[in-house]
Structure 1
Amino acid sequence: MTQLLNYLYPSAANRVLVSLTYDKYDSGVTLRGVEDGFIYSNGAWEKSMGITLAEYAAMGESRAQFSSKDEALVKIPVFLKNKFAYEAPVAGNIQGVMYKLYVTDTQDVDGDGSVTDKTVYSYVVFYIYDGMNWIKYENTINETIQFGHDGTSWVPDNTIKYTLIRKDDYAYMASQLTGAEYTGLVGNLATYGDFDYNWTKTQIYFALALFLEHLDPNAAEGQKYTLTYVIYDNGENDYQTSFIKTGGVWVVN
């Protein structure tokens, strides 16, 4: 998907939003007309989940749009709670959602030369899971400062904990691991959203370090991450690995 977006929008402005409709093959089923949002941010495309016509209908909408921003912000957290009810989201997970409003066409997106008529605009809003509910993400989070011992004294611990999103984050790694060593391995990443028993620790750590470059390309020297990910080996199991940015690269900590 990233390659397609780069081809279609080779000179995309920072923070531009693209609403993309495509067919998606998922678990043996082809989903027609999937529509998601992609924001170009700091040189990379970030995906935000779209809402289907059926999902709008379930929220009481007769069309694939909300009547107002206020309505959208009330209904979307309920929608997320229902959608991820069986996926056990982890507190701190952040989800971008693209939604649509019928508003005045101030930017003439329909190209008819008028900026006073109305048309459908796409917007993205981010929500963070607090352990029970999805709440609007304001980019400011109150947290208790944690400390770690460096062998001499207690110092603030800047470790960020992140759980890889299935299947998006795994699909990104699959798209980047193009070497011959990974030819027979990457299929399960994109298809199932996990590693499997055929991967060595070294290969997994390399893939995760590659993902961290994508997740936080501007991370400062010394930044730490603890990643939670899934390995399938006689069942799905969660694993955690800690990394630190040292000498400009991510290494296992």
Structure 2
Amino acid sequence: MKKILLLLTVFSMVFTSCDPLEDIYEEVDANASGVAGDVVLTLTDEDYETLGLSYGSFNSEDEAKEALPGFLSDKYPVWGNRSTALISYDLYVGNAFSVKNYTLSLEDYATSGSTLLGFEVTTTPADYLTDIIAGEYDEANEGDYVSAYYDQYTGSVFTVTPEVSLDENLDYGTVAGDLTTVSGGSWVSHSGAPNELMYVADGLTMADYPSSNVGGALEISTSGSEDVNTAISPELTSNKVYSSALIKLSEVGDGTYFFHLMEEDGSFNFSARTGAKSDGNGKVLFGIGASSSSLTYGTTAYELDTTYLIVTSYEVETGIANLYVLTAVSDVEPTTPEATNTGNSGNSAKRIGIRQGGGGPSAIIDGFRVANTWSSIMSNETLEDETVGDKETYNAIYTFTEGAWVLPSGNGYYSLTDTDFASIGIENFGSSTSAGDYLPAFLNLKYPYALEGDVLNVLYKYVSSSSGEQIRGDAYTKTAGVWVAHESTVVASLQLEHDGSNWLPDNTIKYELVDADYTLIKDTYGENPDFAAAVANLDTYGNISTFNWTDEQIDTVINTVINKHFSGMEEDQKFAITVFVYNGSSQNVVYRYILKGDTYIRN
């Protein structure tokens, strides 16, 4: 009898369906790739390496959306339809703003009518900088910055043909003696006891200096008194005069000058008087006086018994004298001299002089040069005409606001000054003096009344061995009483769901109704006659009974709950709402919705 019933059952299936197993196949296909699972995952360093991200972060959400589905398929190969994953990952969002450093070119200065590598003294740079920056950075983001470095001449500018007026290597043989005698009258005494300034056969050297390692040198003594000089030809009576010498000091006293330019023999119209004194700690300070014996000393402490190249400049028209102390030859005149002094203008340079006197040093001096340009001090080659004049380097910062480059203004910007750096005991930020170590405390002192959430764009000087000086910056936010720097990498999350074939980015928000939500439903719909029986059942049993609630009623109250907690959602936003229901037994059931228009519909 059982066999007959089984045959009848099979016979019935054959005649009621084209494929008696079709429903079974469809159910299997719906979950073809395996079981449903849920995971909350934070990517590790090992995960980033698996993803080929050696830098440990994604550059965009799109990059994460492209990479993570495959990552999940490999990690959970048996998971299938309705599986979900919430993945936390590091997202690189970049700097708070961009700071470009730009140095003006000859073409930029030409916009002001200058033919020089710098603005002329009568020019107002701000009249041209905006257009120059806009031309260089025609595409920018709101809030970007440009730090423009430019030069401006401080006085007269002139064009000269580089020429050497003196190249004195002291090549007077191998026998030591007093300088005036061994030089055969090239050097003459003009003050003090004669025959005290001595010639020595061994000279000084410095790589690439053109008056190096030729002949002997002269020796001056702190106890000597003879002063000597030698002629310059051609004489220099205008523009700028440069003089140089190699020097190695063995002893220094309280300080006085030992090397200078002078007019006629017997005249005491000296200029560019170069001197040295003890720093009080066994080292040397170099100084210069434009025309007076009262010198301005630099702050750098130099070593005894070390060969240095000293270079002076004297501008005839202004009386300004500068001193540079070099440890190696430099083809370019340094921006900042070791010391500067201003004295009488109009002195001509017809001779150079060497002085011995009380307080002066004991030293070996060699390789004297006098020329009309820095370049001809450093080279014996035939050089092209060049422009000579003192200039200063400046820095101006502009920001891109409402489509134009303008000077920063308002309360959301601050640029550290040299005075600010001095107040925190450093000259600039760098690899060993991180801005983050100093700025939070500095900003608390600078802005003691800043409010929670205030944001300040802070720009500052940064110096590195590879790129030199530049302007950098970051945004700082007042957070819990502390100024916190912008984070270039933040933690982001991406939700994904398996559709039966692939992992797809999913914006589903999961939410479980709580007691307050059920109270909201009763308060909202309790007086509605269409919901009277359903709400009464909810009030009695504390759940949504599918025997008392229609699907339409459930959808209506779920819309109310979602809109209560999640306003302003975008089209196609998905929700997975967990509801406590009774459908023969009390249990949690997940209802899925998607926003279409202004209504959440079953998904």
TM-score with structure 2 setting the length: 0.17
In our comparison, the structure showing a higher alpha carbon Rg is: 2
Q: TM-score, normalised by structure 1?
A: 0.39
